[in-house]
Structure formats: structure tokens, C-alpha cells
A and B are shown apart, each in its own frame.
Chain A
Amino acid sequence: AQSVTQLGSHVSVSEGALVLLRCNYSSSVPPYLFWYVQYPNQGLQLLLKYTSAATLVKGINGFEAEFKKSETSFHLTKPSAHMSDAAEYFCAVSENSYGKLTFGQGTILTVHP
């Protein structure tokens, strides 16, 4: 069965600093990988997705992620954090299963002025 591990339940950065949120996956088949963001009292919004077309994936709001098969990683980065990036971020994997994503436990990103 597939699984997702997000390293660090909380990450704190200063405004303008690099954002790095870590995600490692375990999958028995080539995976489809996703990053979602959740703001307080809201649902999940898709940031970006990897579906084997390109290893470096660009998403919304300046985020990007790189798929590294050798490291089974799909880390999320943003060069310069903004206060509005404060939220909880979820990495997810899907493999050959209708409607089902397996999510990591989430990483809460705090951005300090």
C-alpha cells in the first residue's frame, strides 16, 4: 500500500525566506503526486500535481516541486515566503484507485514578518 510521510509537522520561516516542505512517498507503482493547501475553515486547494510529464512541476502562487524517483521525494518549495502563504500543506499520492488519495499528516507553515 502506498504511504506519504511529511517531515516536520510545523515549519516556521520569515517573510521573504525560502520555503521548503518535505514529502517522501512509498508506492509500488509509478505514482501520481499532489500538493494541496488548506486555509483555516476551508477545504483543500490543489497547488500542483506530478503525473510523470516533467520532474519539476510548477504550481500556483509561486510554488514548485521536484519529483526525485531515486529519493522517493516530492518536496515543495517557494523562493520567497509571503504572509499569505501561512496555511497547512498536504502531500498526497494516488495509484490506480478511483477517487482515493493517501495524504500525509500535513505541515503547518507559519510566516513571521
Chain B
Amino acid sequence: KAGVTQTPRYLIKTRGQQVTLSCSPISGHRSVSWYQQTPGQGLQFLFEYFSETQRNKGNFPGRFSGRQFSNSRSEMNVSTLELGDSALYLCASSSGQGLTGELFFGEGSRLTVL
């Protein structure tokens, strides 16, 4: 069974640009969550999607957005990039049933903003 797949794995952008990251969940999983990981702030929850609807959202500015498609694949977008957006962005999938929170993570997309 294939795991969670994130693309691209690495990317470099400059301030002011925007970026789109993609996540394909484990087959059969309908929930996709996104996290930002930085050395200073650690792992922080961005948002969660289930059946194309955002069910939960963390405390990030509106520059961070996401969506989910009918096949459960998800994308997140960051507009007007800032230096502080440099981070590892992790996607996680789960069945989405219940609130136990067991998540299966991808290897992440490492974003560097220059």
C-alpha cells in the first residue's frame, strides 16, 4: 500500500512569490492535514480537509490556504512568501472517521524562501 506522497520534495522561492504544494493521501483515506515544521516553532497545524471541506484550521494568516479534490488529493498554497515561511511542510492522511487523530505523514516538502 503506497504511503502519503508529497511533491515537490524541495523548492526554492523568492520573497513575494507564491507556492503550491501537493499531497496524495493513502488510498482510501479521506482526511488530509497540513503541518508546518520549523526549528523555532516546531510542528504547527495548518488545516484539515475531509471530503473537499475544510473541517479545522490552525492559527495561520490568510496567505496560507488549501483545498481538497474529489479524489482526496490536497494542495496547499502560500501567497506573498516571506522569509519566515521557510519550513518543512508536512502532509498527513487518515481515514477521517472519529477523532483519535492517528495520522500517517508524508516525507514533506522543504521550502526555502530567499
Contact = CB atoms under 8 A, between A and B. Distances in A.
Interface of A: 32, 34, 36, 41-46, 49, 51, 90, 92, 94-106
Contacts of A46: 102-104
B90 A101 contact: no
A91 to B, nearest CB: 11
Nearest to A45: B105
Contacts of A98: 31, 48, 50, 55-56, 96, 99
Contact of B33 (A45, A100, A102): A100
Interface of B is mostly: strand
9 contacts: A42-B108, A44-B90, A90-B43, A96-B99, A97-B101, A99-B55, A99-B94, A100-B101, A101-B45
Contacts, number: 77
Interface in B86-112: 90, 92, 94, 96, 99-108, 110
Contacts of B101: 32, 34, 92, 94, 97, 99-101
Given A43-B90, A43-B107, A49-B102, A97 B56 contact: yes
B26 interface: no
B4 interface: yes
Interface of B: 4, 6, 31-33, 42-43, 45, 47-50, 55-56, 58, 90, 92, 94, 96, 99-108, 110
B107 A106 contact: no
A41 B37 CA distance: 12
B8 to A, nearest CB: 14
B103 A99 contact: yes
Contact of A103 (B42, B48, B50, B55): B42
A34 B102 CA distance: 8
A43 B4 contact: yes
